[in-house]
A and B are shown apart, each in its own frame.
Chain A
Amino acid sequence: MGYGMMPMLLAADGDVDFSIHHLLGYEFMGTTVYLTTSHVCMLIIIATIMIFALVARKKFANAQEVPTGLQNVIEFVVEVLESFVSSAMGKHGKKYMYYVGTLFIFVLFSNISGLFGLRPPTADFGTTFCLAMITWFMIQYNNVKYNKLGVITGLFQPLPFLFPINLIGEIATPISMSLRLFGNIMAGTVMLSLWYGLMPFLAKIGIPAFLHAYLDLFSGAIQAYVFAMLTMVFVTDKIGDN
């Protein structure tokens, strides 16, 4: 699903709009690449997280023994992420907490950004596939690091003729992970834009709040949790008992 295909979405109906828009095209190595709504929304989300991080850093420069206000919130977030990672990864949790925590916060903010009128960057297959590929390289790195030659022999387990299926199973991981996140968030985006585009004016008051609560907040939070959880499960699976 390249960028070229998306703009012809629903060309007949101007009211319903959930496509990725091209804002600025420029030449890069012979092809025209575009700055899209996904990039802009992602930059807004990154800026939000960065500002929060900088405020938190400033706050912790003179941290109190007994936390109050914002310090409470920050400590709560860190503690929740820490227990989340260590419950799934055990003793390896310390090493992966920073990546998984960052991933979780970014995906969560991306998913719920539909609530603030942005087009969620995770409703773009480009974003989710990149995130899944990072996870996949992490999985394979740990596979090679801990299993050494078992990477090759493991593909022939339990029976040699299962090799093609095992190989497909390895390669399918990033595709299924990225499509899961993309599909869920895209479905929410499509549903909400259909509602906003096609319903009469009165139906747009009040009722979308429930749709936003389910499709953006609930579904988004669950999917962010699942994405981070699957990352940890796959990595821990490759590390094994080492």
Chain B
Amino acid sequence: MEQITNEGLILACSAVGAGLAMIAGIGPGVGQGYAAGQGAAAVGRNPGAKGDIMSTMLLGQAVAETTGLYGLVIALLLMYANPMLSKFLSL
């Protein structure tokens, strides 16, 4: 255990944290899939309203995606612009 430096520990934990943050991708995946399925069903019932259904679906999917993107931003921050490294090691 003596060989582990502070910097190494922070980097390793940040990498694990980035991986964990991307679990957030599950939610948008389920949500977007559900919206797409409902959209397909709606087009099947009423093919004339395809344009409206498409735009509503895309908008809903984009909003559902936001939480996943927060996770992505956290992961990117941990991987590439780590605030903890500069704070604790004054790099």
User: Residues of A with Cβ closer than 8 Å to B?
Assistant: 1, 5-6, 8-10, 19, 87-88, 176, 179-180, 182-184, 186-187, 190, 222-223, 225-226, 229-230, 233
Interface size class of B (residues with CB under 8 A): 10 to 19
Q: Answer whether residue B69 sits at the interface, using C-beta atoms and an 8 A cutoff.
A: yes
Given contacts A222-B58, A225-B58, A233-B59, whether A180 and B69 have CB atoms under 8 Å apart is yes
A-B contact pairs, 24 of them (CB 8 A): A5-B83, A5-B86, A6-B81, A8-B81, A8-B91, A9-B81, A10-B80, A19-B80, A176-B66, A179-B66, A180-B65, A180-B69, A184-B69, A186-B72, A187-B69, A187-B72, A190-B76, A222-B58, A223-B62, A225-B58, A226-B62, A229-B55, A230-B62, A233-B59
Nearest residue in B to A186 (C-beta to C-beta)?
B76
Q: Are A226 and B76 within 8 A (Cβ)?
A: no
B11 to chain A, nearest CB (A): 10
Nearest residue in B to A83 (C-beta to C-beta)?
B51
Q: Are B80 and A9 within 8 A (Cβ)?
A: yes
Chain A residues with Cβ below 8 Å from B81 are 1, 5-6, 8-9
What total count of A-B pairs have CB within 8 Å? 50
Chain A residues with Cβ below 8 Å from B77 are 1
Q: Answer whether residue B34 sits at the interface, using C-beta atoms and an 8 A cutoff.
A: no
User: Residues of B with Cβ closer than 8 Å to A?
Assistant: 55, 58-59, 62, 65-66, 69-70, 72-73, 76-77, 80-81, 83, 86, 91
Nearest residue in A to B86 (C-beta to C-beta)?
A5
- Docked Cα-Cα span, A187 to B62, in Å, equals 15
Q: Are B62 and A183 within 8 A (Cβ)?
A: no
- Docked Cα-Cα span, A234 to B80, in Å, equals 33
Given contacts A1-B77, A8-B81, A9-B81, whether A183 and B59 have CB atoms under 8 Å apart is no
